[in-house]
Chains A and B, each alone.
Chain A
Amino acid sequence: MLLEGVSFTARSGEILGVIGPNGAGKTTLFEAIAGFVPKTGGSVECDALFYLPEAIRPWPDRRVGWCLDFFARLFRRQRDREAIEMLQLDQLLEARIGTLSKGEARRFVLALALGTPQAVLLLDEPFDGLDFRQTRSAMSLLRARAAAGRALILSIHQLADAARVCDRFLLLDHGRAIGEGDLRELQTRARKEDATLDEVFLALE
């Protein structure tokens, strides 16, 4: 996927949702920002960031607790107990990562990312596989972390989830940015008062 003319700002203390259908370039955008794919142009200006890729299951033979501690040691920090509690991982600390369900694995890697000290977090599909209770809990945790001064950039294809958790949105379609702003600004731009996020997206694409 090629990205063209995508320019946006994410501020400290806010959650920016990168919205778009499959193939819109959300993951490519994140990988380019994190330096995992070569850039032919453009630049990224931001504080230290951490990118959590979609659908990864690192070190499947190790235990959840061991992995959280290992990661914390690399960043010279303690285990993030609040994240472990809110993501309901405390009962899974002795479980082998390879045996986790999809939702459990997602919560585990989310805890890994939130345990890093980076000012900017890029989270690719953070709620993928989570049930509605877990999603609500994870959203509360993300809101709390944003309120503490971090900038969170989330790639979400479930627009209802995005509308609930994000402060502002970057709408991507076929590698191009088709809008940036909060829901009201996007509604105004799409000339659709009271429209939902998906209606706004369809009007702008």
Chain B
Amino acid sequence: MRWSEGRALLSKDCRELFGSTALLLLLLVAGPLTGVAFIAAVRAYAEASGGGALASALSPLDGMLVPAFGAYDLLITFLVPFVAIRLVAAEKSSGALQLLLQTPARLPAQLASKLIALLAGWLACLLPAAAALLLWRSWGGHLAFPETANLLLGHTLRYLVTCSIAIAAASILNGAASAAIVVLSFTIGTWALDFFAAGRGGWPAAVARYTPSAILRQFERGLLGLDVVIASIIVTIALLSIAAIWTAAARPPLLKAAAAAAALILAIAAIAATQHAGSADLSEDRRNSFSSADERLLRSIEKTVTIRIFLAAEDPRANDYERNVLTKMRRSLRDLRIEYPYAGRTAMFDNDDRYGTIVYRIGAKEAVSRSATEEIVLDEMETLAGLTPPRRGQSDYPGYPLNASPRGAATLFYVVWPLLVIVFFVIARRPYSRRTG
């Protein structure tokens, strides 16, 4: 397929998308919703900036970015699927798809064009967020580019995955309503999985690492996990492949189902192969990393470090340890092996002396501890490795308090933005002159 044909497809999909009532509603809602979240966040941030230790540790990532972008979480969950479904289902129901399938434009190119058009829609949807960031900067607020871009990437990946789920559902099922039910059921299913896995561990926890909410949480902490980025891209490609398999030439449904299942299995295998592919801490306060001195020491340990955690998966200490220590440890040590001997047990109330202990082994040396506190664990580990723990002072992070009032924001998000959207759509959908009846 030539570039001009690709452009023709993209132009068609963009016109279909930007002329649709579904996108109009999405954009209309995006402004006020972002506004509500942003204004509330700015007020809370100003209150917290009033003084004391809290003010000096204030981070725009937690205080403004995550709450303001939280509006997009809602939009992606509840409105974006309808926009994406409409883009596919409208062509199916109008007969346009039957015509397109007979053109030289290949089906993967047609689906890719839809995805690119949807990304253009996403950019339009992000305009209120961009306005919020500009307002924040104009009031003297601080923004760190890496953590801001990382959060944006997290929401974009979530948007991509949601759109590809919607495209696959709309391709497989007849009728937009059925596709919408499937997509929302999927979302509810991932919430249930999150809830189920929270107190367990094992395979549910491993799978729950890749639910859209869990992926987003990583980005909200300022962590760029390569495995979740790769997983999101693989899932998107797999779902578009399934959509193509279902839309392509007439094959018996069983054959299509087998091909779709094969695509899913391949995707799962690829995701499993890239688990723990590495990560980067993009938060300005380095909340996902040990101090530079500790990281240097830990990196100098060449032997395999084994940590055996005698805690049940539902034990809150296991979660704290995972979040505060292991996440950082994985990124600092060259060769780390983690074992959860009690992962499958409900051992919290067993009369077992080992319960609650964490055993560290480096080579032939072993140490036992019950602490999940970062500094104590680091001292334990570094001493065991024959190293001298560094002096740990205050964090270098200066904190960015801002006592600003969200002036002008309400007018922009509640009045100007909806008016702009309506004017745009009135122009885009203006009635064409019709010279004859």
Q: Do A and B originate from a single complex?
A: yes
Chain B residue with minimal CB distance to A69?
Answer: B8
Would A38 and B250 count as touching, CB distance under 8 A?
yes
Give CA–CA (A94, B433) in the complex, Å. 6
Give CA–CA (A61, B429) in the complex, Å. 8
Q: Which of B73-81, B101-109, B227-235 contacts A (4 or more CB under 8 A)?
A: B101-109
Chain A residue with minimal CB distance to B99?
Answer: A58
The B contact surface, by secondary structure, is: loop
User: For residue A71, which residues in chain B have a CB less than 8 angstroms away from its CB?
Assistant: 99, 103
Would A74 and B434 count as touching, CB distance under 8 A?
no
Tell me if A22 counts as interface (CB < 8 A to partner B): no
CB under 8 Å from chain B, chain A span 29-83: 31-32, 34-39, 50-53, 55-63, 66, 70-71, 73-76
The A contact surface, by secondary structure, is: loop
- Scoring A52, A58, A76 by chain B CB atoms within 10 A of each residue's CB, the highest score goes to A58
Number of interface residues, chain A, beta carbon within 8 A: 36
Give CA–CA (A51, B103) in the complex, Å. 11
- A59 with B94: in contact, given A91-B435, A96-B431 (CB under 8 Å)? yes
Tell me if A114 counts as interface (CB < 8 A to partner B): no
Would A57 and B249 count as touching, CB distance under 8 A?
no
Tell me if B299 counts as interface (CB < 8 A to partner A): no
Give CA–CA (A94, B16) in the complex, Å. 17
Tell me if A92 counts as interface (CB < 8 A to partner B): yes
Give CA–CA (A38, B8) in the complex, Å. 30
User: For residue B249, which residues in chain A have a CB less than 8 angstroms away from its CB?
Assistant: 35
User: For residue A35, which residues in chain B have a CB less than 8 angstroms away from its CB?
Assistant: 249-250
Partner of B5, one of A63, A74, A91: A74
Q: What number of A-B contacts does a CB cutoff of 8 Å give?
A: 85
Q: Mark B422-437, 1 if CB is under 8 A from A, else 0.
A: 0000000101111110
Chain A residue with minimal CB distance to B249?
Answer: A35
Would A74 and B103 count as touching, CB distance under 8 A?
yes
Partner of A73, one of B5, B19, B101, B433: B5
Chain B residue with minimal CB distance to A100?
Answer: B434
Number of interface residues, chain B, beta carbon within 8 A: 33
Chain A residue with minimal CB distance to B102?
Answer: A50
Give CA–CA (A94, B430) in the complex, Å. 12
Would A61 and B16 count as touching, CB distance under 8 A?
yes
Give CA–CA (A50, B8) in the complex, Å. 20
Would A58 and B103 count as touching, CB distance under 8 A?
no
Give CA–CA (A66, B11) in the complex, Å. 11
Give CA–CA (A95, B432) in the complex, Å. 6
Would A39 and B94 count as touching, CB distance under 8 A?
no
Tell me if A99 counts as interface (CB < 8 A to partner B): yes
Tell me if B137 counts as interface (CB < 8 A to partner A): no
- A58 with B2: in contact, given A73-B8, A74-B103 (CB under 8 Å)? no
Would B432 and A63 count as touching, CB distance under 8 A?
yes
Give CA–CA (A40, B103) in the complex, Å. 25
- A56 with B95: in contact, given A94-B432, A96-B431 (CB under 8 Å)? yes
Would B105 and A74 count as touching, CB distance under 8 A?
yes
Partner of A94, one of B12, B102, B252, B435: B435
User: For residue B8, which residues in chain A have a CB less than 8 angstroms away from its CB?
Assistant: 70, 73-74
Give CA–CA (A77, B369) in the complex, Å. 76
Would A95 and B434 count as touching, CB distance under 8 A?
yes
Give CA–CA (A53, B93) in the complex, Å. 12
Give 3 closest A-B pairs by Cβ, nearest first. Answer: A56-B95, A58-B96, A91-B436
9 contacts between A and B (CB under 8 A): A35-B250, A36-B101, A50-B102, A53-B95, A55-B95, A62-B15, A74-B103, A94-B434, A112-B99
Apart from A35-B250, A91-B435, A94-B432, 16 more pairs, CB < 8 Å = A36-B98, A38-B251, A50-B102, A52-B99, A53-B98, A56-B98, A58-B91, A59-B94, A59-B96, A62-B12, A66-B15, A74-B104, A75-B103, A76-B5, A94-B433, A94-B435
Chain A positions near chain B (C-beta within 8 angstroms)? 31-32, 34-39, 50-53, 55-63, 66, 70-71, 73-76, 91-92, 94-96, 99, 112, 116
